[in-house]
Structure 1
């Protein structure tokens, strides 16, 4: 990047020399090859007929050089003209060599000049990148900025800037070799590690030159996961080793709408999300294989790493939009969590191989954007209610690289948190604050329609449309209808919307009866018992008749006291009501008047839906298999524990580099100040991967810490491994904690002297469960290692490789906690039983097994108020996670409160 810029003056000098030196030199030395007067005819003939003394040959040579110089000057002039005007350079016969030289020279000159022009005056030049073949914005962001998600920063910084060839960057997916892209200053995302005794005011004074700017640092880091395991929530509660981002401007300015300033949307476009803080631990054993050899599927909440996985500038993959993908994956997560609540002690849930549909969904999901849109609309709803202002009628919404835009049916004054772009267009304000608990969803029929150029998603409010007709063949119409149906079924703002499916979607209705109603024909659908408290949308793959149009019009007009908000149907020979929106679905895109652009419609094919339905059904009723090593975990309320012995001192992890994953991820025994702050999180993740996957190959490391689409390059991988080896250093025997690969070990691993709490936990748990009468001290020491949910502080998008391990760790902790609670109860030590259950609930907060243990403990203690309070807490927690309590739990609560045995 900088080398090219340094070559530019030299190349410019060569260019000027080519243009000016030859004619000046020829004129200065003209006496060598030209006579001192104009020759007459006799003299000219004498030159041609007498023996040449070298002067004629020199004249011919000079003439040929002069012609070549003219060709080169003409080629340079043409190249300059074409680049200035963005035109194509014509290929002149006989000028090929000259045009190639001119192109090369101008590329170097203009590239360097543009790069230097891009650098602001001052001590810190603007960094730039020269595009080479094979480059993409995500690749450039990953290589230059450390995170592929920052490609949007690069795009925004260079959008519309004229490039050396006269063109400019308009489409994020279209780059041309030779372009010079400005990059954000590294200081825009500076991070520091807190030293002992430091305060935010001191850091602001030292780093920003103004102690009064401590509040900016606090606002920028509030709630971020930290190495201490305690997110920053108070200006006076920073801890040594915490990693803080530093602002660079006195005040953040929006500029780009919601994405530029909103703290939630900014996660998609700004600095690399904070990875897991540094993490404690003993030599890990190779993780157990999934039951029956199945490959573990990724489970939320561990979505694919946005900093590496989101290598597309589009919110759409394979016709599926990012909002729909995030909603469907949330549905999978809820069902799988519900199924885990029914796991029997000592068993594990067999994880099926991830299907095609789930892989496609993970490739495009944008969960952060779903949350922002939902909270923004609910905040708008509350603000309108609090200020007694009517909500505006919404026609369409656009989500994309430039944030969130609303398009209204009529012009009106903006309502917070939105600001007006035009009289009928609102954007999310740069300083907008979204409420965590806001009002009801104001637009329950808002649905993803498709995407426009560049991948931005377009949503429309079906209530404003009233009737939408689809013009095209049945198969295409059904794919669009299925996408609309499922998008509404999983959207958080449409939680009270019921979808009536006519002549399609029977299997969808079977797997989601709470949201879908299936009818074979229009007659049955229009004469159903519409629930008055719900919002209804009717979707039909069969054309309506005249009577159906009349009846649906009555329902839409509210004549029957039914909230039928919209009807979407295939075209019925012109029978649609006046004013219906019509979408042509035969072509690749259709013009949508609500947005005023061509939109490529979102689609879910029947085959995709069938795979989706099967996967959801499988998530509801997974196979449970017993685990041999946990065979002595007692069923609930059975088994006699051994007499309680005094507990041995808790295991103390040695003072050496050690990994802790049974709670917030931490790496202790290594000084975080010895590595670059922006590399720290990635190095901790690499150490965790090697510790939990001993023998990992180079390709496995590249793929699992990168993505399928953009794995780590060999240089990136070796660079991180080398940094980690240098950082951790050597053990007491002089061997590195990150050994070099050798034939004896094969693959990469951490040394045997590197600690890991999961390995210690496994050793203690398996030893404690090895006999029919469990060893309470061993199990208690194992449980004492638990400090929260495994990998609990990992932000969305990081450690995606750990999803199956998280489940295995959580299930193992619940089994150990249940075994201890059961043993302590039978021994009469109710406080210890309560502590065991509560410690296990730190790892799995909604474990009904442990809640049932806790309920029995409180009942045995004669504390019915605590029984009721515990039951209420569990019910509220399950409701917040959209889970239904197991029948066994409900029956136990009823039995305990009624006094029945």
Structure 2
């Protein structure tokens, strides 16, 4: 059935439904005889009827029929919104079925309309292939029958729709097309809006969520979707035939004829590919006669006319080709990147030796980057952007970033005034940026809360912890896979009638509150992520349950997986203490980077002796408690702290008695809190006593024992492991370092930017001509599921050429309010670094001010189009500030005035947060708190605002950036073409608007003088103003100097880049740390000056402003203590000390007060005298 016919049927159904529900009452009221019109009582039945009674009865029957139909329709509508199949109501079968048919047709309006709007062929139906643990299963899988290759569903009702099946088994109604692609013999499925015939057996995709796998059999050699072999071959990009030869490709999930033709030369050649393959058999049955329907696993012949020329050997210069043809494929990382795509469905009857690839091939990069696909696929670590190799490693990234954040806070606590904490450079800095863009920390907060709540409820019910074989982290829920059927316990519930699969949504009202959670230990402290499933969801396992985890297969990949496990265990985001022993050179350097958790021994005998003592102690404790298992003992109130897991990491275990003794310790009953993770071959490792995972490669899928989940193992290459060790070691350093010279004037000169001259012409060409040969702006097809500001949904409606953007300001949607104010646009920021540097002062320079305090010193190395003096005002001396963001600064108290018993602290204001923006002024970039852009005169869609604000913030700190730097900052690890980049740039320019002279606040790249991206000089930034005020104030010890310091601190609204999305602003971490250090130094200086002048209120205000940015800084807390003591306010001093103690308790599980702080409090606080 054609798309037009489906749409027509849906619209006709809507008309019929409206006529029946709304039209019938109107007709009955207009021409019917209502029961209320009858008079005469019993005489109406005994006397002669003049027709009134008859018509009244007919009208009444009509009302009853209308009510029954309306009620049936409401039942169907409610069921639709709840995502469930409506219950059958006795007596209303026909009416309810008719209502369901009409409403089911309406459901198809949205997908049908979307399909009708697509001019190119439809994307291949998505289906998931689950791969086996080893290649040994390949022969049996090939011999498996088509019947055994798929889960099935038998239609039992009269009103089941394809949409219903997709909702029930796949969790998404639009995926009914996936089911239809597997069942060409069921025409009702292909139609989409017809009831399925009763008794029909419908094949489902392999990822269908069913209570028990429909094809599960006890025969171990029988191939099922859970044990299908992994794909053996992908379409190699570096071995394409010459143009005169035909080529054969295998369709992957998410592809279309358009994208395949684009991969092979020109997307407009897709009709030739269709004609060359028309009539060929399809996987699962049927023939290929519809270009809108291709299925994963389908073999296509690419005719010679569509095949491209051989790829050149060297990588072309970026963005040097003419504008490419439209590319509707997804803009995804290369296949070697850990970002998973849904595996493709294998062809059950495939005759070729290759099967469908397990990952979707990437869309070719526009801007002439197609030729490096093969190189990237073969050597991802060398060719991908630094962030790309981290995609999918969310748990590992979150663990490392969380540890770095805590350690840097501790470094800021002990940093000396005028110094800085050490920050990474080079490869380690790039790795940190990749980590920040890949982390997924929110799921671990939910997992921790759900598991602790479960422990509390199980303890109250006197039940043991269940055995968990796997944990899957979804976006908004946690999924537990258990080893056996177990009655669910809140906050978890069973799923799809199963009691061995528990889920807990983030919105569950059964989650315990924070105070209650403090009373529960982590019930599964040895959880560690192994990889991700086909949908990109993290999969974790409990090493205590596994006992012995053997990583077999490829030696290099096994070592990489072991290194990833080691780093995550050493810095896990889940609470709970672990003891880790690394054997010999395993995870070398981890013991120095994380000495609180990791120890190292070179002798296996020593490791066995230590583990022997550990297991003996725990088994004695189990006997003393009378607990039969570790799972029962963990929930007893007096068992806290007794069950710390001890995990041995071994890159290689030698054969012999020591290894046998080690394995016996771990596997003996009752099991204790211990595990062994080993790589390499070893005859003593019995697969029956643990798990053996075959590490075939980063792109290969394995089946997880116990749960049967297909996953891809995450690994950490040797280079990235070394970078992770360097990051952990650097963040644990006790010493601070001098401030770097490049922070002196805030910005790097444009001449220092790499390849300035080389890229100048290309930058201009990129912005001058964002059109194709026909003059039409190229519009990449949006990627399904991308975030609202990420690739590529951000560019779904790409704008016209830059000169046309001025005419679109009036037609854009009004920007949405995100923080309560009409002109305040806070952004979700993230903390990381870019190699181009960011701005910030050093105290060495601040104490050595320029000759003219009002402006930064002019040097021969300044940029061709320099920024103005670092002020919020366009011109004037450094004490001037716009009234819209000015904060009240407390005046000094005369030293001769008596000091009150309690000195009030001037409350810091948030003028910049509450202001409506400068009237008639240029935009302001506010970074010292929540990221806010004030004064933007244009408009922008609220769902596209975040990318624009991040771009403005980046350019405010990095003027003169080229397009490569912007790509790396905003979209780390992604392949970005100029249309995508220019879409954000165009919208940002239109949003910032123009000044009174008509000059854009975000100039076109052709107008900047050096073909670099920068904001206009009129656009101001609070961080630059802070630098200038601080430079002046620290250099002058008079009233003007102190006023400048006050003005600097008045700009602080909170921690720089506060309330950020952890996955955004991956470039900003060095700037954040510099800002925090500078704010603390200025606050310390001003607080000291005001206290020495007996202005205790001013001293307290200065210290508190600094604590807004760094509440953990004990240097500032000591200033607060001294000010309260000098004012004679002992009670306030005690309150301040208690506040510091609470802050320290929340840092990394609790830290001690610095010795200097403790000594100061002992000196200042009066000692209590014991009563005689």
TM-score in terms of structure 1 length: 0.61
Task: Confirm or deny that 1:542 pairs with 2:653.
Answer: yes
Q: Give secondary structure in 2 for the equivalent of 1:681.
A: helix
Distance 2:552 2:980 in 1: 51
Note closer, same or farther for the CA distance 1:677–1:644 as it changes in structure 2 (3 Å cut): closer
In structure 2, the residue matched to 1:409 is 483
8 Å CA contact retained: 1:445, 1:494: no
8 Å CA contact retained: 1:169, 1:175: no
571, 575, 595: which one pairs with 1:513? 595
Q: Counterparts of 1:49-60 in structure 2 under 5 Å?
A: none
Distance 1:436 1:685 in 2: 34
Residue 833 of structure 1: CA displacement?
0.6
Residue 825 of structure 1: CA displacement?
0.8
Note closer, same or farther for the CA distance 1:169–1:469 as it changes in structure 2 (3 Å cut): closer
Q: Deviations over 1:120-173 (max 9, x none)?
A: 4499955777496999999xxxxxxxxxxxxxxx99564451499879998997
Distance 2:466 2:728 in 1: 37
Q: Give secondary structure in 2 for the equivalent of 1:423.
A: strand
Q: Counterparts of 1:705-854 in structure 2 under 5 Å?
A: 705-711=970-976, 713-743=977-1007, 745-746=1009-1010, 747-771=1012-1036, 775-854=1041-1120
In structure 1, the residue matched to 2:785 is none
Q: Deviations over 1:743-780 (max 9, x none)?
A: 56443433333343233322222221233667111111
In structure 2, the residue matched to 1:688 is 953
414, 420, 429: which one pairs with 1:342? 414
Distance 1:136 1:862 in 2: 76
502, 506, 510: which one pairs with 1:426? 502
Q: Counterparts of 1:43-192 in structure 2 under 5 Å?
A: 120-121=108-109, 125-126=113-114, 130=118, 156=172, 158-159=174-175, 161-162=177-178, 174-178=253-257
399, 410, 422: which one pairs with 1:327? 399
8 Å CA contact retained: 1:396, 1:459: yes
8 Å CA contact retained: 1:326, 1:365: yes
Residue 788 of structure 1: CA displacement?
1.2
Residue 396 of structure 1: CA displacement?
1.6
Q: Deviations over 1:720-763 (max 9, x none)?
A: 44444444443344444333445564434333333432333222
8 Å CA contact retained: 2:440, 2:1063: no
Distance 1:757 1:552 in 2: 61
Distance 2:109 2:924 in 1: 46
8 Å CA contact retained: 1:479, 1:604: yes
Distance 1:707 1:550 in 2: 48
8 Å CA contact retained: 1:821, 1:834: yes
Residue 823 of structure 1: CA displacement?
0.3
Task: Confirm or deny that 1:617 pairs with 2:729.
Answer: yes
8 Å CA contact retained: 2:402, 2:573: no
In structure 1, the residue matched to 2:304 is none
In structure 2, the residue matched to 1:861 is 1127
Note closer, same or farther for the CA distance 1:853–1:364 as it changes in structure 2 (3 Å cut): same
Distance 1:771 1:820 in 2: 12
420, 444, 459: which one pairs with 2:540? 459
Residue 550 of structure 1: CA displacement?
4.5
Q: Give secondary structure in 2 for the equivalent of 1:527.
A: helix
In structure 2, the residue matched to 1:301 is none
Q: Give secondary structure in 1 for the equivalent of 2:539.
A: strand
Per mean C-alpha deviation after superposition, the further-off stretch among 520-529 and 354-363 is 354-363
Moved over 6 A (4+): 4-9, 116-119, 131-138, 163-173, 649-653
8 Å CA contact retained: 1:331, 1:490: yes
8 Å CA contact retained: 1:394, 1:409: yes
Aligned residues: 634
In structure 1, the residue matched to 2:439 is 365
Q: Give secondary structure in 1 for the equivalent of 2:177.
A: coil
Distance 1:876 1:750 in 2: 43
In structure 2, the residue matched to 1:581 is 691
In structure 2, the residue matched to 1:592 is 704
Distance 2:990 2:414 in 1: 46
Q: Counterparts of 1:20-59 in structure 2 under 5 Å?
A: none
In structure 2, the residue matched to 1:704 is 969
Residue 386 of structure 1: CA displacement?
4.3
8 Å CA contact retained: 1:346, 1:632: no
Note closer, same or farther for the CA distance 1:129–1:495 as it changes in structure 2 (3 Å cut): farther
Note closer, same or farther for the CA distance 1:554–1:829 as it changes in structure 2 (3 Å cut): same
Q: Deviations over 1:274-316 (max 9, x none)?
A: xxxxxxxxxxxxxxxxxxxxxxxxxxxxxxxxxxxxxx9xx99
Residue 846 of structure 1: CA displacement?
1.4
390, 405, 413: which one pairs with 2:464? 390
Residue 821 of structure 1: CA displacement?
0.3
8 Å CA contact retained: 2:392, 2:532: no
Task: Confirm or deny that 1:566 pairs with 2:679.
Answer: no
Q: Which runs of 5+ in 2 are unaligned?
A: 8-103, 127-169, 185-203, 208-250, 260-340, 343-383, 619-641, 745-841, 848-890, 896-907
Task: Confirm or deny that 1:491 pairs with 2:572.
Answer: yes
8 Å CA contact retained: 1:546, 1:575: no
Q: Give secondary structure in 2 for the equivalent of 1:391.
A: coil
Distance 2:894 2:1002 in 1: 39
Q: Counterparts of 1:304-315 in structure 2 under 5 Å?
A: none
8 Å CA contact retained: 1:460, 1:594: no
Distance 2:437 2:123 in 1: 20
Note closer, same or farther for the CA distance 1:126–1:353 as it changes in structure 2 (3 Å cut): same
The structure where helix makes up a greater share of residues is: 1
1160, 1163, 1172: which one pairs with 1:892? 1160
Note closer, same or farther for the CA distance 1:854–1:518 as it changes in structure 2 (3 Å cut): same
8 Å CA contact retained: 2:547, 2:674: yes
Residue 811 of structure 1: CA displacement?
2.1
Distance 1:137 1:819 in 2: 65
Task: Confirm or deny that 1:502 pairs with 2:575.
Answer: no
Distance 1:689 1:321 in 2: 26
Q: Deviations over 1:306-353 (max 9, x none)?
A: xxxxxx9xx995798321222122222222332233322223345323
Q: Give secondary structure in 2 for the equivalent of 1:411.
A: coil
Q: Which runs of 5+ in 1 are unaligned?
A: 10-115, 139-153, 181-267, 270-311, 635-642
Note closer, same or farther for the CA distance 1:361–1:812 as it changes in structure 2 (3 Å cut): closer
8 Å CA contact retained: 2:478, 2:505: no
Q: Give secondary structure in 1 for the equivalent of 2:574.
A: helix
8 Å CA contact retained: 1:317, 1:364: no
Note closer, same or farther for the CA distance 1:164–1:179 as it changes in structure 2 (3 Å cut): farther
Distance 2:546 2:1161 in 1: 49
8 Å CA contact retained: 2:547, 2:667: yes
Residue 523 of structure 1: CA displacement?
2.3
Q: Deviations over 1:65-97 (max 9, x none)?
A: xxxxxxxxxxxxxxxxxxxxxxxxxxxxxxxxx
8 Å CA contact retained: 1:159, 1:169: no
Q: Give secondary structure in 1 for the equivalent of 2:464.
A: coil
8 Å CA contact retained: 2:547, 2:666: no
Distance 1:660 1:136 in 2: 46
Q: RCO (CA 8 Å, sep 6+): is it higher in 1 or 2?
A: 1
Distance 1:703 1:135 in 2: 29
In structure 1, the residue matched to 2:843 is 630
Note closer, same or farther for the CA distance 1:624–1:391 as it changes in structure 2 (3 Å cut): same
